[in-house]
Amino acid sequence: MISRRARAFDSSGIRKVFDLAARLDDPINLSIGQPDFSMPAEAQMAAKTATDAGKNGYTPTQGIAPLLSRLQEQVRRELGQPERHLCVTSGSSGALVLTLMSLVDPGDEVLIFEPAFLMYRPLVEFLGGICVVIDTAPSFEIDVAEVAAAITPRCRVILLNTPANPTGVVVSSKTVRELAHVAEQRGVTLVSDELYRSYCYDAPFASPATYSDKVVVIDGFSKSHAMTGWRVGWVHGPKPIIDACSTLQQYTFVCAPQVGQWAALAAIDCSMDIPLSECRRKRDRLMNELRQHYRFVQPGGAFYLYPEAPGGSGQAFAQRAVEEEKLLVVPGTVFGAADTHFRIAYTVSDAVLDRGIAALKRLA
């Protein structure tokens, strides 16, 4: 009864951790990749006002006019590209789906950097594409010469994520500039997933779209404004690609949730400096506490730490963590072929973080 395409998908490794958490009594959950602070009060009020005003129906496919206009103005001003177009989507995941649907045909190659966000490979393969994997371990830095050598005539997309999930690595401005230039020279579309761009702790964020107007950018409010459940993202780039995304959204997601869009419009003007500084404090504390017990690359952004697993197997370590400490972390096999690391999400309360640090030290 089930299609071959659907059967090819395994249940998300992170979803399995969520299911396990629901069955445990008072687990130490360092697996959930979402902010632990509240969405801005102004956004909450805007959502309530919109609901009370009956703004609960469909919106134009591209998004409500005030939000679309505001985001376009912001993006064009930031990049100095007046012809850049934008579509509001059902979350950044919706933006990713629509972008890949617009660019990838069966047999096309998509270059990804592992470890990578868990949706990348399944979505490419769902569309009949072929993933060309560049393993960035152990430094998690990107070698642009290796990228150039991996591009074949069948390559259509380079999929970049910075700051990265799961490693927290922030790609340098030099590297993103070189990637943008290589992609443009070779006629490949560079898709930049910038959902964590507001979480940069040690160096300013650099977007490859700064260096090429051919780059497609995916962004959203989920991580930056703690609005994961409202499903409001956006994609911007060259007009033909964004027009294709808009058309495909009309036949799939229809539009982003209207109430969420009004909340997002209010959230744009809200300062998130305090919660972001709290994330940096937690990152620094976690690194300082674990430095003598685990090996890891310092994450310059996002809200994850990606240590090497004691004993060499991330899966075995994650299983032992559950059995001995009721500690939930995500094994690195969720993000790629290598079973060497595990991911910690540190956007939790200080009390949970304290428990997690103590458990991690005992396990080490």
Compare 161 and 5 and report the one with higher pLDDT: 161
More confident residue, 9 or 324: 324
At position 65, the amino acid (one-letter code) is: A
pTM over 0.85? The answer is yes
| pLDDT surpasses 90 at 326 | yes
pLDDT band at 23 (very low <50, low <70, confident <90, very high): confident
Segment 269-279 shows an average pLDDT of 93
Phi, psi of 59 (to 5 degrees): -120, 170
Structural domain containing residue 216: 41-267
The reply to whether 114 and 245 lie within a common domain is yes
Q: 39 by DSSP, 3-state: which? A: coil
- One domain, residues 95 and 136: yes
- Between strands 330-331 and 342-345, the pairing is antiparallel
Report the mean per-residue pLDDT for the chain: 94
Can you tell me which residue has the tokens 């009370």? Answer: 52
Total H helices, total E strands in the chain: 13, 12
pLDDT at 52 over 90: yes
Please report the DSSP string for 338-351 in residue order: --SBEEEE--S-HH
Kindly report, residue by residue over 96-131, the tens digit of the pLDDT.
999 999 999 999 999 999 999 999 999 999 999 999
Shared domain check, 207 and 58: yes
Same domain as 248, residue 117: yes
Residue whose token pair is 């008072």: 26
* Per-residue confidence band for 25, with pLDDT thresholds at 50, 70 and 90: confident
Q: How many domains does the chain have?
A: 2
Angle at 194 between CA 191 and CA 198, to 5 degrees: 165
* CA 207/CA 213 separation, integer angstroms: 11
227 with 221: CB under 8 angstroms?
yes
Between helix 350-363 and helix 273-290 the angle, nearest 10°, is 20
For 153-200, how does the pLDDT look when each residue is reduced to its tens digit (9 = 90+)? 999 999 999 999 999 999 999 999 999 999 999 999 999 999 999 999
Cα–Cα distance measured from residue 96 to residue 249, given in angstroms and rounded to the nearest whole number: 11
> From CA 115, how far away is CA 219, in angstroms rounded?
20
Half-sphere exposure of 363 (CA within 13 A, CB side): 27
Residue 26 shares a structural domain with residue 49 = no
Query: Rounded distance, CA 80 to CA 83, Å?
Result: 9
CATH number for 349: 3.90.1150.10
CATH of the domain at 144: 3.40.640.10
311: pLDDT strictly greater than 80:
yes
Clarify whether residues 255 and 324 are in a common domain: no
Q: In angstroms, what CA-CA distances link 336 with 87, 148, 169, 314?
A: 30, 21, 16, 12
Cβ pair 148, 179 in contact under 8 A: no
> Pairing mode, if any, of strands 28-29 and 327-328?
parallel
Kindly state whether residues 344 and 307 are assigned to the same domain: yes
Q: Over the stretch 236-259, which tens digit does the pLDDT of each residue have?
A: 999 999 999 999 999 999 999 999
Q: Are residues 27 and 47 in the same domain?
A: no
